[in-house]
Structure 1
């Protein structure tokens, strides 16, 4: 069973810091109030009650010794005091006040204890918060008023101070948490925005020592990743470039050769063309598309050339393309769409349906085929470079687009999607397979 703290604990660091500060300060304030009451307030009330008891006893003895004819004059003289008011009668002049407060109750208990069995005490409060104590003086009943402690007396001041301290502690905890969380939130945002194709600016390496070290480590990590990616791209581009030179010579040699076997010549030419296409994709993937400028792209113009090139192969527009625009890299988007279409033609079956719909941050383009799909265990890895699905599960449905790619088609589409703040999502359908290209409007 989870503890109460684990159930009530906020999820955010800011909430946990404020809640923990509130708990610690609250417990400290409660202990302070208890100690103040036990060590300061109660002894002081007992001292005042003792003095009051002595005064009441003295007044009782004085009135007992005074003749009854002179008591009223003496009571009138006592009533002139600014601290004590005496009233004769069974009830005080005003007993419509609220119940006694905590301090008043503690004082009355201390007074009862100090008086002992000398008299039977009872008390009332009036609308001005005077305490009226019922006592017997000289054998006659009297009501003696005692001025009540002010609203902001010792207890009120203590509670007000405790509340102020509690509030200031919460404000300080909230400000401190916000100051600590601001660089952490910046680190989180930078991590989410980070892409090798378009790395985010380095984080500021200031603030507390630990936060500055964390930002510095993140900047060093992104720099190392960028260098590693640049080296990988350079090696891949170098290999592709070095292979294309002898490939061009080989292609020229085949064209200049005289061969009676036309089938052999055509086969060799196809293999050379295939190698050349593979090298082109290697170079394209290695260079990336980050250097292409961002411009306003019309969605219908994005689909028109794709439909013109692949319409006869079974590619159709399943729903009218919205007449919208977005800021993006047009050639990169066109390459991503072509790769998804060719992947559907390679491994799926016609018709290949294209749809486009708007999302809160951009657009989503869906390419759906009617093939047999791929095993669920392979879907997550299909957007990785050089990864292919189980192409042997069925014979090629479209001989003109038999699987002969490089394994970079979906990886390149994912690279382009990430460059535009999106992603490529793949899923099996009941009667086919769908690839969804989500792209966000790039802020210029």
Structure 2
């Protein structure tokens, strides 16, 4: 399998490529500007030298002769012959110098540039058209190109070193995050210790990994707890069924009814476990009337006369109907199983939420257990031998949270136990 490049090499390569392109473009532009400025300056100097030599050549005084001798030492001379043909094509900078001289003289036809192979500028005299003033053009192109190349290379090396340091600073937090990923998933506070000086995005990624690890651990704990609860809750009715079959009680109507009850208990426990696992988050929301939904649940109770429904005549809500039906039904089952009649379901519509409250008139729950309710397989009684799986309140709590709301429970001061589901009004 081909090994993928590291983040450091990718960042360094991209930065190096960007620097190379930028420095190359800057060098080309800088060299072009330098050559243009040099040709313009040399063109002015050549024009001045040609005009001075042309004017001094018409004088016979000693000062003019001395000045002409100085100009000849710089390479200036006069020629009665026309300019020769160029051996090679004149360079761009030489053409620029000739163009500048011609523009300054006001007559470009008086200027001829030749490469023989030395660069020369021929300027026709204004006093004698048959005479030419010849100037040797000094070429600094090689020096300019060399200096530009050296400066570009040095700037590139410095920028590349800085880019390498920057890439290292960017990738070091990622390497640290990779090294401590297992610790993050296990729940250790790595962000506060090893990643406290990392960039904000890396810290956010570390926190997201930690949250994902916590969710995975929570799911694993729920799975283990569910397996333990199922094995415990199914063992007793299975043992009774086995004993009844061994004793041959299937022919006894009373014992047969007891066996059917055990089977119903097994079916109910499995149904609750499946309902807890399939939390209903995939069910789409739709607009329903909560009063109608609760009325249907009350009609299915074994003793509907023990129940009372209070609230408005119509209470629309945007919910997951099956999930909410299961949650309210579980709360009603818990009220009948652990509480006492009369029972009540009250509905109300607040400013920002819809409230569903299920109340019984039983003895309530031990205050020490109130904080622990809502955990899977946690019953209101401390004995594990009672009926029920301990998932009813957990399913109601999860249903409220999936709707963006919350579930609350408490003992009623007058006696009894109440569970309240708060769902956001108009939640979509």
Q: Name the TM-score class by shorter chain.
A: 0.3 to 0.5
TM-score by length of 2: 0.45
TM-score by length of 1: 0.44
Report the structure number with the largest CA radius of gyration: 2
